[in-house]
Amino acid sequence: MREVDLLQAATKTLREGYTSRRQVLRMLPAGLGALLLSASDVPAADEHQPRAIATPRAPGAPKPAPPRHGGAPDQHGRAALSRPVFTLREYRRAVPGPAFPRDAVALTIDDGPHPVWTPKILRLLAHHHVPATFCMIGNQVLGHEATARDVVRDGHQVANHTWSHPTHLARKHGAKVSKEIERAQDKIYSTTGHTPAVFRSPGGDWSSTVLGAAANAGMVPLDWSDDPRDWSRPGTAAIRRRLLAARPGQILLCHDGGGDRSQTYAALKTVVPALKARGYRFIALDGRR
């Protein structure tokens, strides 16, 4: 091999980092070794650390997804919203996709799963072929895993409603908010196999910190537009009256957990078939495009 060819081969070997400068010099005559030392601007490879060789991305291949909790925008390219969504129209602006039917309403059910009321509500919804979005609390899934799986098995959507349903979440510091969201997310996923893409803050308590944490976890912040305050147990008639005032495009709020939900269940037994009789179509929200 000519000297110039030998020098070029040695330089290439050194540049690619497969061996050390000292090993390359052993392969060369003294004159060429000196020339390589004086002329080469290639940094020496560390003899004790393997060199990482980047694999080029194929043309047109997508960029690697950012870490799950790595910051906004999230893995869907979704930046934090300045406010939660209150109606189906706002929801569709936040999550682009096919338009909802003009007569659509969304039933959302919070604070479960509950071993008594969730199964009763599931049977009621199945009887009327109505889908819903169940906003689950992580520590309520704990111990009621079979009920949580029944919700998904029956074709409903699951949303994240924090781990412990803390009051005044908007006043909490960022680390606390993120832990509440992430811990619930992990428990819901490990139990049901479904990763929530919708987040509801307890009591509808929002702040820029809460909205940002939801975006970092890849979720749409969801509020409501029809609240019968059934959690306060105002009576079946009051709950029924408020829910029957629903209009197309609204997001309805009810509860299956947090205590005795017999009034909610009794009201829904009338409300669900009555709204269907008006021609309303129930839809569930999954947060995906």
Nearest to 107 by CA among 237, 267, 262: 267
3-state secondary structure of 109: strand
Give the residue numbers annotated as catalytic, written as ranges: 110, 255
Helix, coil or strand: residue 157: strand
Angle at which helices 262-277 and 117-128 pack, to 10 degrees?
Answer: 10
DSSP, collapsed to helix, strand or coil, labels residue 287 as coil
CB distance 128 to 276 below 8 Å: yes
136: Cβ contacts below 8 Å, ≥ 6 apart: 112, 113, 148, 151, 158, 159, 160, 161, 184, 188, 196
251-255 and 104-112 beta bridge pairing: parallel
Question: CA angle 37-41-44, nearest 5°?
Answer: 70
